[in-house]
Homo-oligomer: A and B are copies of this chain.
Amino acid sequence: MKLTCEPLTATAFAPFGDVLDCAGAPDKMINAGLCGRYHDRAQLDFGSDGRAGISVFRAQARSLPYTCDLLERHPDGSQAFIPMSADPFLVIVAEDNNGPVNPRAFLTAPGQGINFHRGTWHGVLTPLAEPGLFAVIDRIGTTPNLEESYLEEPLIIDSDQ
Protein backbone atom coordinates (compact mmCIF):
# COMPACT_ATOMS: atom_id res chain seq x y z
CA MET A 1 0.00 0.00 0.00
CA LYS A 2 1.45 3.35 -1.02
CA LEU A 3 1.37 6.26 1.41
CA THR A 4 2.39 9.84 0.75
CA CYS A 5 3.97 11.87 3.57
CA GLU A 6 1.89 14.69 4.96
CA PRO A 7 3.50 17.72 6.59
CA LEU A 8 3.32 17.45 10.38
CA THR A 9 0.81 19.85 11.90
CA ALA A 10 -0.70 19.83 15.37
CA THR A 11 -4.21 19.53 13.96
CA ALA A 12 -3.48 16.62 11.63
CA PHE A 13 -1.49 14.80 14.30
CA ALA A 14 -3.95 15.40 17.16
CA PRO A 15 -5.58 11.92 17.00
CA PHE A 16 -2.18 10.33 17.55
CA GLY A 17 -0.19 12.68 19.74
CA ASP A 18 1.36 16.10 20.25
CA VAL A 19 3.64 18.16 18.06
CA LEU A 20 6.49 19.72 20.06
CA ASP A 21 7.64 22.89 18.34
CA CYS A 22 7.58 26.65 18.73
CA ALA A 23 4.66 27.38 16.40
CA GLY A 24 2.62 30.40 17.45
CA ALA A 25 3.26 32.73 20.36
CA PRO A 26 5.06 31.51 23.49
CA ASP A 27 2.96 31.04 26.62
CA LYS A 28 5.42 33.12 28.60
CA MET A 29 8.60 35.13 28.09
CA ILE A 30 11.28 34.31 30.68
CA ASN A 31 14.92 35.23 31.35
CA ALA A 32 14.39 38.99 31.02
CA GLY A 33 12.56 38.58 27.73
CA LEU A 34 15.31 36.57 26.04
CA CYS A 35 13.53 33.20 26.04
CA GLY A 36 10.04 32.08 25.07
CA ARG A 37 8.49 29.19 26.98
CA TYR A 38 5.97 27.06 25.08
CA HIS A 39 4.60 25.46 28.18
CA ASP A 40 3.69 21.85 28.90
CA ARG A 41 2.97 20.78 25.34
CA ALA A 42 2.81 16.99 25.70
CA GLN A 43 0.11 14.76 27.11
CA LEU A 44 2.34 12.51 29.18
CA ASP A 45 0.90 9.35 30.70
CA PHE A 46 3.04 6.74 32.37
CA GLY A 47 0.25 4.86 34.13
CA SER A 48 -0.05 4.27 37.84
CA ASP A 49 3.01 2.05 38.15
CA GLY A 50 5.47 3.76 35.80
CA ARG A 51 7.55 6.92 35.88
CA ALA A 52 9.04 9.32 33.34
CA GLY A 53 12.54 8.69 32.07
CA ILE A 54 14.82 10.28 29.51
CA SER A 55 16.75 7.94 27.24
CA VAL A 56 18.81 8.65 24.14
CA PHE A 57 18.14 6.72 20.92
CA ARG A 58 20.58 6.54 18.05
CA ALA A 59 18.93 5.10 14.95
CA GLN A 60 20.26 4.30 11.52
CA ALA A 61 19.16 6.84 8.92
CA ARG A 62 16.68 5.61 6.32
CA SER A 63 15.67 7.07 2.97
CA LEU A 64 12.48 7.49 0.96
CA PRO A 65 10.75 5.51 -0.43
CA TYR A 66 10.66 3.61 2.88
CA THR A 67 9.01 0.23 3.34
CA CYS A 68 7.30 -0.32 6.68
CA ASP A 69 6.07 -3.81 7.60
CA LEU A 70 5.79 -3.49 11.36
CA LEU A 71 3.82 -1.19 13.63
CA GLU A 72 4.07 -1.19 17.40
CA ARG A 73 2.47 0.46 20.39
CA HIS A 74 3.11 0.95 24.06
CA PRO A 75 -0.06 0.14 25.99
CA ASP A 76 1.29 1.44 29.30
CA GLY A 77 2.70 4.82 28.39
CA SER A 78 3.23 7.79 26.10
CA GLN A 79 6.51 8.17 24.20
CA ALA A 80 8.08 11.43 23.03
CA PHE A 81 10.85 11.80 20.44
CA ILE A 82 12.96 14.96 20.44
CA PRO A 83 15.39 15.15 17.51
CA MET A 84 18.83 16.41 18.61
CA SER A 85 19.64 17.73 15.14
CA ALA A 86 17.61 20.04 12.89
CA ASP A 87 16.68 17.27 10.46
CA PRO A 88 13.26 16.02 9.38
CA PHE A 89 12.23 12.51 10.32
CA LEU A 90 9.42 10.21 9.32
CA VAL A 91 6.49 9.54 11.65
CA ILE A 92 4.19 6.63 10.77
CA VAL A 93 1.02 6.17 12.78
CA ALA A 94 -2.28 4.30 12.55
CA GLU A 95 -5.66 4.24 14.21
CA ASP A 96 -6.66 1.23 16.29
CA ASN A 97 -9.42 -1.25 15.61
CA ASN A 98 -8.23 -4.39 17.33
CA GLY A 99 -5.00 -3.73 15.46
CA PRO A 100 -3.64 -0.89 13.36
CA VAL A 101 -5.89 0.53 10.63
CA ASN A 102 -5.85 3.61 8.40
CA PRO A 103 -2.11 4.29 8.53
CA ARG A 104 -0.72 7.75 7.86
CA ALA A 105 2.80 9.09 7.41
CA PHE A 106 4.03 12.52 8.48
CA LEU A 107 7.26 14.27 7.66
CA THR A 108 8.50 16.60 10.40
CA ALA A 109 10.06 19.99 9.77
CA PRO A 110 13.38 20.89 11.42
CA GLY A 111 12.64 21.90 15.01
CA GLN A 112 9.68 19.59 15.48
CA GLY A 113 9.48 16.73 17.96
CA ILE A 114 6.49 14.54 18.67
CA ASN A 115 4.83 12.74 21.57
CA PHE A 116 2.82 9.61 20.86
CA HIS A 117 -0.14 9.33 23.18
CA ARG A 118 -0.33 6.14 25.23
CA GLY A 119 -1.35 3.21 23.05
CA THR A 120 -0.87 4.89 19.66
CA TRP A 121 0.23 2.55 16.85
CA HIS A 122 3.44 3.79 15.26
CA GLY A 123 6.39 2.77 13.16
CA VAL A 124 9.87 2.43 14.60
CA LEU A 125 12.08 5.49 14.78
CA THR A 126 13.00 6.50 11.21
CA PRO A 127 15.40 9.41 10.91
CA LEU A 128 16.16 10.47 7.35
CA ALA A 129 19.61 11.90 8.15
CA GLU A 130 22.60 11.09 10.29
CA PRO A 131 23.27 11.08 13.22
CA GLY A 132 19.71 9.85 13.95
CA LEU A 133 20.00 11.05 17.55
CA PHE A 134 16.88 11.58 19.67
CA ALA A 135 16.02 12.15 23.30
CA VAL A 136 13.12 9.90 24.20
CA ILE A 137 10.81 10.60 27.12
CA ASP A 138 8.93 7.45 27.89
CA ARG A 139 7.75 5.15 30.62
CA ILE A 140 10.22 3.42 32.89
CA GLY A 141 8.52 0.40 34.43
CA THR A 142 8.61 -3.35 34.79
CA THR A 143 5.94 -4.44 32.26
CA PRO A 144 6.90 -5.32 28.65
CA ASN A 145 4.84 -2.32 27.44
CA LEU A 146 5.09 -3.39 23.80
CA GLU A 147 2.66 -4.78 21.24
CA GLU A 148 3.79 -5.44 17.69
CA SER A 149 1.73 -5.91 14.56
CA TYR A 150 3.29 -7.22 11.36
CA LEU A 151 1.50 -5.86 8.31
CA GLU A 152 0.25 -8.35 5.72
CA GLU A 153 0.66 -5.67 3.10
CA PRO A 154 3.71 -3.46 3.73
CA LEU A 155 3.42 0.33 3.55
CA ILE A 156 5.56 2.02 0.94
CA ILE A 157 6.03 5.59 2.03
CA ASP A 158 7.26 8.31 -0.25
CA SER A 159 7.36 12.09 -0.38
CA ASP A 160 4.85 14.00 -2.46
CA GLN A 161 7.55 15.13 -4.86
Q: How far is the CA of A39 from the CA of B54 in the complex (A)?
A: 7
Q: Given B59, B84, B136, which contacts A84 in the complex, CB threshold below 8 Å?
A: B84
Number of interface residues of A (CB under 8 A): 46
Q: Given A85-B85, A86-B86 in contact, is the A53-B42 Cβ separation under 8 Å?
A: yes
- Would you call A34 an interface residue if the criterion is a C-beta within 8 Å of the partner chain's C-beta atoms? yes
When distances are taken between beta carbons in the complex, the residues of chain B under 8 Å from A83 are 84
List 16 interface pairs A-B (beta carbons < 8 Å), by A numbering: A26-B58, A30-B57, A30-B124, A31-B125, A35-B59, A35-B60, A38-B57, A39-B53, A42-B53, A44-B54, A46-B52, A56-B113, A82-B82, A82-B84, A84-B86, A111-B133
